[in-house]
Amino acid sequence: MTVCRTCQAPVLWARHMVSDRPMPIDLESVPQGNIRLLDNDRYQVLAGDRLARARTQGENLHLSHFVTCPNSRSHRRT
């Protein structure tokens, strides 16, 4: 676990299960989340039926920190 360099929120860095791209993910799970954390610091983005099923089953889902960070624009590459 680390913290966001601009808002100091706790984040977990994980890599996409297919593309291997890293992304900061909010540490706390939330009901409106759409990210499933996997083993080995990997993540999967859920949508559609998979997302609905995971939420119905009460799975702990997370959000990308880019969605929740109040300073997300400062992290964008130009």
- Other beta carbons within 10 angstroms of residue 35's beta carbon come to 24
Residue (of 66, 21, 3) closest to 12 by Cα position = 3
Give yes or no for a contact between 55 and 16, defined as CB atoms under 8 angstroms apart.
no
The residue type found at 75 is: H
Domain residue ranges of the chain, discontinuous segments joined by +: 2-72
pLDDT tens, N- to C-terminus, the chain (78 residues): 899 999 999 999 999 999 999 999 999 999 999 999 999 999 999 999 999 999 999 999 999 999 999 987 776 666
Rounded to whole angstroms, the Cα distance separating 70 from 1 reads 19
